[in-house]
Amino acid sequence: MSNSEIGLIGLGTMGAALSLNIADKGFDISVFNRTTARTHTFMDQAGILANKITPAETLEDFVASIAAPRAIIIMVPAGEAVDAQIAALRPLLGSGDLIIDAGNANYNDTARRAAEADAAGVPFLGIGVSGGEEGARFGPSIMGGGPKPAWDRVSHILEAIAARYDDTPCATWMGEGGSGHFVKTVHNGIEYADMQMIAEVYGILRDGMGRSAADCAAVFERWNEGPLQSYLIEISGKVSRAHDAKSGNPVLDIILDRAGQKGTGRWTVIEAQHLGAPVPVIEAAVSARNISALLDVRKEGEGLFGASPRPVDLEPDIVESALIAGKIMCYAQGFVLLDLAGRANDWDLPMPDIARVWRDGCIIRSAMLNDMARALTEAPDHNLMFAPYFAKMMEQNAPHLRHVVTTALSHGLSVPALSAALTYFDMMRTARGTANMIQAQRDFFGAHSFERVDAEGAHHGPWGG
């Protein structure tokens, strides 16, 4: 029987949740997993939705169970597994059959796969799916990339399973090739920075202000009622509130301070460097994760130099204001990176729609994204910090960012992402910076030339002899 409307390969956490979401929205779906035992467990747990799901034990049966022209989502670990899966599928597919990679692929891989698919005359989509397991099951944010006709073929399914904001589905076609996965990568870079800045203010509350985990929870809960309202602030409150059954202590206090990473934040920084796009807040967040991994070295450092944090005299409201300013700087950098990448790749990225698609479903969803969508509608290629709404917010909040950063630094509290945000703000409002010194040095040692403030053209200094 070939009557499923769509197929999905890879019943890991995300693939299983996405399959149930698709079935729940009324679509018949076929599923396949490399290990059949996993397929059986999945079907056992599917409950009433099992009657919308066709499990297959071989790839051949799986393909045969989907109505042609087929649409097949692959949700396997990013990297070689995706290429292996595509290679295994290809011989079984017809020319109109569509493969959709919904994993966290590196956009360069997606661009290559898209080009290979294009050369073979078969459609391929790379879609970024955000929202974790809960999002995948009940409404993720979806960032699509690849040929528009291919997107149009499956957009009714993707829009049906996506989160909705004001009844608008959080599923959008971003452009050709690897654009969907690029947008998802930048989403993750921003996610790293957002999380790092929250971790930094948590450090100020805990180490500088002596607040308990429960106190921190109360602070995050209050902030979640204001301009910082977001999923990440919400869950920061929840994780601060939770208790460990084994020790009875707050869970936060028993978690080792060594953060994992699968690499998407790093990819954002690498791509930003390729494009010459400044993303210092995201860079600081990625570096902070790397430093967190150096637990033994940090222990040695504390043994040698002593622990640095000392009490600070700050109010939570001022810290909240600092975080607002830091967040605006981080998103401004992310959107500038997207704008540059769109131009470099001829994607014509829909800037306001990117902000819109992130308003719900994804990890970085927040109240502020709606204001960002509005600002980007008026000026899609202008740095968000100059949009009247955000410029006013920076005027109000940047002094508090400065106060919090300088206070934290002078008391030995590490705030790398917030510091990077403040420095970016200061550099971006300084018409005459200090790169004239760099230019003089370059010209001195390499005759690279410099521009003058009072004349056109390339000039050299009087260094010789």
Q: Give contact residues for ligand 6PG (rule: CB under 6 A).
A: 104, 130-132, 188, 191, 260-262, 264-265, 362-363
Catalytic one of 5, 52, 184, 320: 184
Min CB(12)–ligand 6PG separation in Å: 12
Burial (CB count within 10 angstroms: exposed 0-12, middle 13-18, buried 19+), residue 133: middle
Judged by beta carbon, residue 52 or residue 184, the one nearer ligand 6PG is 184
Judged by beta carbon, residue 145 or residue 316, the one nearer ligand 6PG is 145
Min CB(364)–ligand 6PG separation in Å: 8
C-beta nearest to ligand 6PG: residue: 130
Min CB(133)–ligand 6PG separation in Å: 9
Q: What contacts 24+ positions apart, CB below 8 Å, involve 39-45?
A: 39/11, 42/11, 42/16
Q: Which two tokens stand for residue 358?
A: 């992130």
Judged by beta carbon, residue 363 or residue 404, the one nearer ligand 6PG is 363
Going by their DSSP bridges, the two strands 6-9 and 71-74 should be labelled as parallel
Contact 75, 102 (CB under 8 A): yes
Judged by beta carbon, residue 4 or residue 188, the one nearer ligand 6PG is 188
Min CB(233)–ligand 6PG separation in Å: 16
Min CB(103)–ligand 6PG separation in Å: 9
Closest by alpha carbon to 132, among 212, 193, 191?
191
Catalytic one of 5, 176, 191, 200: 191
Min CB(140)–ligand 6PG separation in Å: 7
Q: Name residue 144's beta-bridge partners.
A: 127, 173
CB atoms within 10 A of CB 256: 7
Judged by beta carbon, residue 219 or residue 252, the one nearer ligand 6PG is 252
Does 184 qualify as catalytic in the annotation? yes
Q: Which residues contact 27 (CB under 8 A, 6 or more apart)?
A: 5, 6, 52, 157, 160
CA angle 254, 259, 265 (to 5 degrees): 155
CA distance 56 to 39: 8
Judged by beta carbon, residue 53 or residue 74, the one nearer ligand 6PG is 74
Going by their DSSP bridges, the two strands 124-130 and 168-169 should be labelled as unpaired
CA distance 174 to 208: 43
Does 392 qualify as catalytic in the annotation? no
| Residue numbers annotated as active site | 184, 191
